[in-house]
Structure 1
């Protein structure tokens, strides 16, 4: 009896925390940062689904209308996960209508003409399975917007806290889907699992509030009140070309510290210049130099394999070379070489 009470408390608390966080993100979504709005809605529909599970598990005689609402909420979990990750990755407004309105219309029509109270078998055999399948499809589609984070893993770059945040959201939602999808083989009650996920979000939220990065997916201005004067800007502008002229980027281990040492300026000033003036990170700047080198090799060398070409351009592996080349040029090395040959 006591164990059941504890399970109910933990499960219900997870859903309650979800509602609180949903409200928190909605209210504090400043400057139209759309990732926050979608995250708020994601937590809301997740919490509705979870609270339905909790009360149904402990009270099987729960009104069927609440069961229908809880199940219907699932149809928006996948879309809001997808929209949250997409709006963050693209750093701007995301078209949401086609990902939300059609599903709302479909579930409303089904709920009206085939209410759960009278058609439980249809819901169990078809509608719920279709909802979980749609949820899974969006989980798979959302992977696309985590590629930059996975790329950082491959390149052994440091992850930002914001990267960890979105990975946690993605895998948290995926785990909840798995728990529901496998409920027939395990247990219907997944509130405790959901609570763990929500609690983790709260902990991350508190970490954000107490670090130099600001909350709500807006990086703090790293160099505020540390503006460089015109003379310093001109000096760095003249010096930074040395990286390209001497082809220092061909060293696979070339980093910001070595660059600063070679240019005889502080690491901080070089980083500030690249970030603020060039509008990119040091690693992206070096990748661009390497891709330009690769393009020249593709135009002049006909006997090099693409793998060798990547190594000769400063990349550490074939996969990182192909990924960077496609990202920067929009073409694969083979496609670029083919288009160049046609132009000649």
Structure 2
């Protein structure tokens, strides 16, 4: 293959490979919470098998003739999987799984009967099998679009927000393969595979972007709904400072936000909001300031402890963390701070003489 063909093969095959992995994950690895996840995995897996085989056959035409038919056999289940994905996503608990099993059993039986014809009439199978598969795919794509139209009018909202992107992606891939197979668009055979790869990645980028915005909106609403009033915030801050001074919780190197929240009899979200909104500090910054101030007092009082021992005494679990935090808060190192304190004492004494 030339370099251009190698690049086309790479971009065509990478989508099929990732699609197979994703389909296997949805079908066999992920703990399914609902039926639509299963049908989505079946859609991705069957399309990926069809795409992967078509790419390999295009670039390596010496493969056995039965291999392309295996790809078409996988594609045979894509339409029904899309149809039941749309139905199960809208109907949810009302979806009857038994009817689906019967339908897939009939479809599998039909495919088995047609497949046995290859043993006796390979010429007829070569001529009509692809047309048969694409006809079934066309029927189920049309039924899926119709089901979406009907069910979306009945139900204003659905728990699955990804129905439309999945449906549109399948329609685009279906049209690409139909136009290429009929010769309406004069491009090479792997063009459909490139369309699949592009749609797969574009679709999932859009889905992940939606999930990010949804989680951000939920987080914002969660905090806005639990906004602490100014009066409560002042009392909480007063209680927090008394608690830190009396029990010296900051000296615990394993102190967590949840530990301090339980001492305050409030949720971790409320305490985090109190620190960020009312004190303008993160939890780690708030605790480390207490530790550094305690370290400065020990240094000023000429403690018998060494510099690194002071860090452990005030709650740091490593010397490097103590030094870096000290420099960040005091803009100097503990040793230079100690030297500056020792230099300032004689001047103070001489001024009093």
Residue of 104, 110, 114 corresponding to 1:110: 114
Secondary structure (helix, strand or coil) at the match of 1:70 reads helix
Find the counterpart in structure 1 of residue 102 from structure 2: 98
Structure-2 residue corresponding to 1:212: 214
Equivalent residue, structure 2, for 1:145? 147
Residue 65 of structure 1 and its aligned partner are, at CA, apart by 2.6
SS at match of 1:37: helix
CA contact (8 A) 1:34 1:94 kept: no
2:195 to 178, 193, 196: 193
Q: Is 1:202–2:199 an aligned residue pair?
A: no
Change (3 A) 1:24 1:204: farther
Q: State whether residues 132 and 177 of structure 1, in contact with CA within 8 Å, keep that contact through their aligned partners in structure 2.
A: no
**Does the Cα contact within 8 Å between 1:38 and 1:83 map onto a contact in 2?**
yes
Task: Note the C-alpha offset of 1:175.
Answer: 2.0
Distance in structure 2 (CA, Å) of the matches to 1:132 and 1:82: 15
Please give the secondary structure, in 2, of the residue aligned with 1:129: helix
CA distance in 2, matches of 1:89, 1:169: 13
Alpha-carbon separation, structure 2, partners of 1:64 and 1:194: 23
CA shift, 1:82, in A, is 0.3
Please tell me whether residue 166 in structure 1 is matched to residue 168 in structure 2.
no
Give the match's secondary structure for 2:76: helix
SS in 1 for 2:63: coil
**CA distance in structure 2 between the aligned counterparts of 1:213 and 1:63, rounded to whole angstroms:** 49
Superposition deviation, residue 74 in structure 1: 1.5
Q: Is contact 2:89-2:160 (8 Å) kept? A: no
Query: C-alpha separation between the residues in 1 aligned to 2:209 and 2:18?
Result: 17
Change (3 A) 1:119 1:184: farther
CA gap of 1:179–1:108, structure 2 versus 1, over 3 A, is same
Compute the TM-score of the two structures, normalised by the length of structure 1. Answer: 0.55
Alignment partners' CA distance in 1, 2:159 and 2:198: 19
Whether contact under 8 Å (1:86, 1:94) holds in the other structure is no
How far off is 1:129 after superposition? Answer: 0.8
Q: Kindly indicate whether the alpha-carbon contact (under 8 Å) linking 1:18 and 1:44 is maintained by their aligned counterparts in 2.
A: yes
How far is the alpha carbon of 1:29 from its aligned partner? 4.6
Instruction: Count residues in correspondence.
Output: 213
* Conserved? CA contact 1:49–1:70, under 8 Å: yes
Please state which structure has a larger fraction of its residues in helix. 2
TM-aligned CA deviation for residue 141 of structure 1? 0.8
Distance 1:223 1:160 in 2: 22
Secondary structure of 2:92's counterpart equals coil
TM-score computed with the length of structure 2 as normaliser:
0.53
State the distance in 2 between where 1:167 and 1:47 align: 20
User: Comparing both chains, which one has the higher relative contact order based on Cα–Cα distances under 8 Å and sequence gaps of 6 or more?
Assistant: 1
| Residue 184 of structure 1, CA deviation | 4.0
Pair 1:177–1:166, CA change in 2 (3 A): same
Q: Report the equivalent of 1:175.
A: 172
The separation in 1 between residues aligned to 2:32 and 2:118, in whole angstroms, is 40
**TM superposition shift of 1:102:** 1.2
> What is the rounded CA distance, in whole Å, between the counterparts of 2:53 and 2:197 in structure 1?
14
Alpha-carbon distance in 2 for matches of 1:160, 1:223: 22
Q: What CA deviation, in whole Å up to 9, does each residue of 1:78-100 have, x standing for no partner?
A: 00000111100111344312331
Q: Show structure 1 runs of 5+ residues with no match.
A: 228-344
1:185-206, CA deviations, whole angstroms, 9 ceiling, x for partnerless residues? 1332111101011112321342
1:5 shift after superposition: 0.8
CA drift of 1:180 comes to 2.1
